[in-house]
Chain A
C-alpha cells in the first residue's frame, strides 16, 4: 500500500480527501478575509476615533479661535488673606469643609522642621490659631493650590464613564450628568484637588471657572486676589500678562517627575512644595 501525499496535505488514503480539501480551503478563506478586514481598520481615515482630534489639529482656523489658557501662581506675592477662598466658594457653590482651591502656608523653622498649615478662609487675624514667633523661622511663604489642569491628566485616564475630560481649551472638566461618583479620579489625582461633592454625589474640582473664562472674565479667585498672586490668561496670546511673565521669569510645576505636565505654573517654589 503506497501512501500518496497530495497538495491538500492529505496523507491518509482512507480519509475522504474531498472533505479535507474543503476544510483547508475554508481556513484559507477565513484567514484571508480576516486579515483583509483587519488591514482596512488601520488604513488612514478608516478609524472613527482618529478623525476628530486630527481634524482639530489640522485646521489652523479652528485652533486660532480656541484659546489656550494658563494659570500662574506667584507665591512671592500671596499674603494669605483668604479672599480667593470666599470668592471660589460663592462662585462655585462649594459645600462647607470642601475646597476647589486652598492656600497652604509653609514655615521653615530654624531647627530644620517644616510646618505646613491651611490658611483659614477668614485669614489668620482673629482666627485663634497659635501665632508663630518670627525669630524661630528661617523663611515662610503661602502657596495657593488649585487644579493643575494636567495635559496628561491621570484623573481622565481612570474615569470609567468618560465623565472626566479635557475641553478643547485644555481645561479639565467634569460632566456631572455622566459622573457616577465612583471617586476613582479622586484617588488618581496626585495633587488632591478632587473631592466628591456631598450635595451632588459627583466628583468636583476647580475648573479655572470655565463658565467665567469662556465669556472673557477672570476666574473668581483671580478676580478676588488683592495682591496679584494669581495670574490667569491666554498662553496663545504672546501679549497677555501671563505669557510675558512665563517668558521672563523661571516658573515650575508641581510634582514634575510624575509626567502629568500641569498647566498651572508656580513662580520660584522650593522643592518642599508638592
Chain B
C-alpha cells in the first residue's frame, strides 16, 4: 500500500513520542510520593506522620492516677472543671518522674516549686496561693456571662468588711482552692 510506502517519518514520530512520554513518566515517578492518591489527592503518609505527634497538654485524669484525694475533693466542687494544670503548671517532667518513681522505689520526685507569678512560666510544677491565680478567671471583665461568678476586688472586700491592704493570699483566707466553698 502506498500509505505505508514511506514510513520513516512515522518512526521518527513514534520515537519522539516514546522519548517524551517515557521521560514524563520517569520524572513523574520520581516527583510523586509513593502514597499519593491512596485516600485522595494528597500524600497519605502525612496522616500517620501528623497523628504520631506526642500529646503534650495533660488531662486531669493523668494527675488523678496518683492524686485521688484531690480528685475526690474536687468531685462535687464548682471548680471541678478547672484543670490541674491551670494552677499547678504543665507538670510534664513531674509525670515522667512520678512514673519512674512508681517503677523504681527510692527515686525522688521533685517537690513543687513556688509560683513565680507568670502565667507563661517555665516552672514545670508549682503550688500557689496567689490571688492572681483566682483573678485571672474571676476578676470582673466586660464580656463575661451573666451567671459566671465575677469579682470586683474593691467591692468584694467592702462587702466582706475586710481591712485593706490585703495580702497576696487573701482569697484563700476565706475560700478553698480545690473545693471552693463558700
Contact residues, A19-50 vs B (CB, 8 A): 22, 25-26, 48-49
Contact with B along A238-254 (1 / 0, CB 8 A): 00000000000000000
Scan residues 34-67 of chain B and give those whose CB is less than 8 A from a CB of chain A: 36-43, 46-47, 49-57, 59
- Tell whether A220 is near chain B: CB-to-CB under 8 Å: yes
The verdict on A125 contacting chain B, using a C-beta distance below 8 Å, is yes
Contacts of B41 in A (CB 8 A): 49, 162, 165
Task: Take A79-B148, A91-B57 as given contacts and tell me if A107 and B40 are in contact as well, using a CB distance cutoff of 8 Å.
Answer: no
Q: Is the CB of B85 within 8 A of A224?
A: yes
- Is A99 on the interface with B (CB-CB < 8 A)? no
Given contacts A224-B83, A227-B81, contact A80 B46 (CB under 8 A): no
Given contacts A52-B40, A162-B43, A124 and B83 within 8 Å (CB-CB)? no
For B46, the closest partner residue in chain A by CB is A175
Q: Are A207 and B50 in contact (CB under 8 A)?
A: yes
Which of the residues A122, A137, A209, A217 comes within 8 Å of B142, measured between beta carbons? A137
Looking at the assembled complex, report how far the CB atom of B26 sits from the nearest CB atom of chain A, in whole angstroms. 18
Partner of B50 from A79, A168, A173 at Cβ < 8 Å: A173
A173-B53 Cα distance, complex, nearest whole Å: 13
B137 and A220 contacting across the interface, CB-CB below 8 Å: no
* B57-A226 in contact (CB<8A): no
Q: Which residues of A contact B140 (CB under 8 A)?
A: 134
Interface size on B, residues (CB 8 A): 44
Residues facing B in A64-101 (CB within 8 A) are: 76-83, 86-87, 90-91
CB distance from B104 to the nearest CB of A (A): 27
Whether the Cβ atoms of B51 and A224 lie closer than 8 Å is no
* A79: contacting residue among B51, B118, B144, CB under 8 A: B144
Of B47, B52, B119, the residue contacting A123 (CB under 8 A) is B119
B3–A175 CB distance below 8 A: no
Verify A226–B132 contact, CB threshold 8 A: no
- Inter-subunit contact A132/B51 (CB<8 Å): no
* Residue B9 at the chain A interface, CB threshold 8 Å: no
CB distance from B47 to the nearest CB of A (A): 6
Which secondary structure characterizes the binding site on chain B? loop
Residues of A within 8 A of B82 (CB): 226
B-chain residues with CB within 8 Å of residue A25 when the two chains form the complex: 3
Q: Would you call B136 an interface residue if the criterion is a C-beta within 8 Å of the partner chain's C-beta atoms?
A: yes
Tell whether, in the assembled complex, residue B36 and residue A162 are in contact, meaning their CB atoms are under 8 Å apart. Answer: yes
B residues near A217, Cβ cutoff 8 Å: 55, 59
**CB-CB contacts of B136-150 with A at 8 A, as 1s and 0s?**
110111111100100
A218: interface (CB < 8 Å): yes
A142 cross-chain contacts in B, Cβ below 8 A: 143-144
| B143 and A141 form a contact (CB under 8 A) | yes
Which of B38, B46, B59, B86 lies in contact with A83, CB distance below 8 A?
A: B86
Contact with B along A102-126 (1 / 0, CB 8 A): 0001110000000000000111111
Contact B143 A90 (CB under 8 A): no
- Indicate whether A165 sits within 8 Å of B42 (C-beta atoms), given known contacts A124-B141, A210-B50: yes
Q: Smallest CB–CB gap between A163 and chain B, Å?
A: 8
Complex: A225 Cα to B137 Cα, angstroms: 11
- A166 CA to B90 CA, complexed, in Å: 31
In the bound assembly, the distance between CA atoms of A140 and B118 in angstroms comes to: 27
Residues of A within 8 A of B137 (CB): 79, 81, 83, 123, 226
CB within 8 Å for A177 and B143 given contacts A165-B41, A220-B56, A227-B81: no
Cβ distance B60 to chain A, nearest Cβ, rounded Å:
8
- Asked if residues B57 and A210 are in contact (CB atoms below 8 Å), the reply is no
Show 24 residue pairs from A and B whose CB-CB distance is below 8 angstroms, ordered by the A residue.
A18-B2, A52-B39, A80-B143, A80-B144, A86-B119, A90-B57, A123-B137, A123-B141, A126-B135, A134-B142, A141-B145, A163-B42, A165-B40, A167-B39, A173-B46, A173-B50, A177-B43, A215-B55, A220-B56, A220-B57, A223-B59, A223-B83, A225-B81, A226-B137
Q: Closest 6 CB pairs between A and B?
A: A165-B42, A140-B143, A175-B46, A211-B53, A125-B139, A220-B57
